[in-house]
Amino acid sequence: MSDLIVDRRTYLAGTAIAGTVGFAGCLGGGETGTLATQVTDQPGDIADFESCVVTIVGMWLGPEGAEAGDEEGEEPADREYHEYDEPQEADLVDLQGDNTQLVDERELDVATYQFLQLDVDGIDATLEGGDSATVGVPGDAPLTFNQEFEVRADARTTFTADFTPVLRGQTDEYLLQPVPDGITVEYEGDEE
């Protein structure tokens, strides 16, 4: 009789697992698209530099309803963080005009986003004369690009984040600042 109970338990456990796997398959069928993130540098004070290498380690995405935390001391809410597989270095001196550099490409669920923020881990800058330059980001916060974009089903969205170093008043320090007019979003492979 105990063999019958074990067989019944095994059967019930197997049925439960099969049902769970089948149900999970139904849930995991969401549509995805590709988000390609690239950077560029439009004219600011970049002419002062021999090199300005920015290390980017990840990005935050702001789905509908998320807040970027633009106010001083305000903590961002409901954003999604995506760490890059490896830190990405971009020399802004090489990214003038139409030049861009891909820093990340990944599959994401289809969604509409309100903003993209780059997580800058470091900046190594040298001025034209060979001296080191101090370059930072405002408030040690991520670089925020307030541009709505979509990740569309079976399509590639290319988000180009444009930022440049700008001299801070009468100091020898520079700040990286987003250039809103230079942000572009392009869609490839969708029918819209």
Based on the domain organization, do 10 and 103 belong to the same domain? Answer: no
**Count of other CB atoms within 10 angstroms of residue 164:** 22
The predicted structure's pLDDT at residue 170: 87
Structure token pair of residue 155: 């399509």
Q: What pLDDT is attached to residue 17? A: 45
Query: Domain tally for the chain?
Result: 2
- Do residue 74 and residue 141 come from a single domain? yes
pLDDT tens for each residue of 40-91: 998 789 999 999 999 999 999 999 887 776 555 556 678 999 999 999 999 9
DSSP string for 92-140 = GGG--TT--EEEEEEEEESEEEEEEEEEEEEEEEEETTS-EEEEE-GGG
Q: Do residue 149 and residue 161 come from a single domain?
A: yes
Q: Are residues 41 and 18 in the same domain?
A: no
Helix, strand or coil, per DSSP, at residue 144 = strand
Tell me the average pLDDT across 112-135. Answer: 97
Query: For residue 188, is pLDDT > 60?
Result: yes
Both 14 and 43 in a single domain? no
DSSP of 53-103, one letter per residue?
A: EEEEEEEEEEETT-B---STTPPPBS-EEEEEEEEEEEEGGG--TT--EEE
Q: Residue 9: give the domain boundaries.
A: 1-30
| Whether 98 and 4 share a structural domain | no
pTM for the whole structure: 0.80
Same domain flag for 125 and 149: yes
Residues 2, 77: one domain? no
Closest CA to 33 of 66, 67, 61: 61
Q: Are 119 and 137 in contact (CB under 8 A)?
A: no
Is the domain of 88 the same as that of 177? yes
Instruction: Tell me: do 70 and 23 sit in the same domain.
Output: no
Rounded to whole angstroms, how far apart are CA atoms 182 and 93? 16
Residue pair 79/117 in contact by the 8 Å Cβ criterion: yes
* Residue 140: band (very low, low, confident or very high) from pLDDT cuts 50, 70, 90: confident
Q: Are both 51 and 20 inside the same structural domain? A: no
- Indicate whether 103 and 37 sit together in one domain: yes
